[in-house]
């Protein structure tokens, strides 16, 4: 059974491929596909802050996310849950640093909870690196992808920032034509 593609999938795939390959020389089909899929995921309203704490409230700060990922001192109930949350943290960090940092800066508690782009990249690299260490059984094949994402996250963020800038320029051009 084939799953239905996300309506923005071809747009994001083309944008990521153009930015990553043509502008950055990052010609890794698996990373391009992964990032395009991540953009589709985060284009859905409830997916950016999909983590919930024990009481069901949204987890919105990086510090809370890090606690949610820790199976020993935090709230992750298993190592599988840790892997899932660490993957989300990597995705979140890449997305926010590349596409959404201005929204973070306008958050009500920005001065308290803020993460700079450099901090997000460091946190994202750590998240993806930890995910890459889950390299046995059903995670063995994916582990190599996450190791590569950890190595080139800063370039991915730059590529996303270029996409964001291009989208912004297109919006200005089309709004000026009406």
pLDDT tens digit sequence for 24-80 = 999 999 999 999 999 999 999 889 999 988 788 899 889 999 999 988 888 888 989
In a domain, 67, yes or no: yes
Split into its structural domains, the chain has a count of: 1
Q: How far apart are CA 64 and CA 69, in angstroms?
A: 9
Find the length of the chain.
178
pTM for the whole structure: 0.87
**What is the four-CA torsion angle of 4, 157, 14, 162, rounded to 10 degrees?**
140
In a domain, 34, yes or no: no
In a domain, 15, yes or no: no
**What is the four-CA torsion angle of 138, 97, 44, 3, rounded to 10 degrees?**
-30
The domain in which residue 107 lies consists of 51-173
Average confidence score pLDDT of the chain: 88
């Amino acid at each position: 059974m084939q799953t239905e593609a996300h309506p923005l999938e071809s747009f994001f795939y083309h944008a990521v491929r153009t930015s990553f390959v043509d502008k950055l020389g990052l010609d890794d089909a698996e990373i391009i596909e992964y990032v395009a899929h991540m953009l589709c995921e985060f284009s859905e309203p409830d997916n950016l802050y999909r983590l919930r704490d024990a009481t069901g409230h949204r987890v919105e700060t990086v510090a809370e996310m890090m606690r949610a990922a820790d199976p020993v001192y935090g709230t992750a109930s298993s190592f599988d849950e840790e892997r899932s949350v660490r993957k989300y943290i990597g995705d979140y960090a890449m997305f926010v640093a590349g596409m959404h940092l201005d929204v973070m800066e306008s958050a009500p508690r920005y001065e308290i909870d803020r993460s700079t782009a450099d901090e997000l990249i460091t946190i994202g690299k750590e998240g993806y690196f930890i995910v890459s260490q889950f390299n046995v059984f059903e995670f063995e094949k994916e582990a190599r992808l996450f190791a590569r994402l950890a190595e080139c996250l800063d370039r991915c963020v730059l590529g996303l920032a270029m996409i964001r800038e291009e989208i912004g320029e297109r919006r200005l051009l089309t709004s000026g034509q009406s």
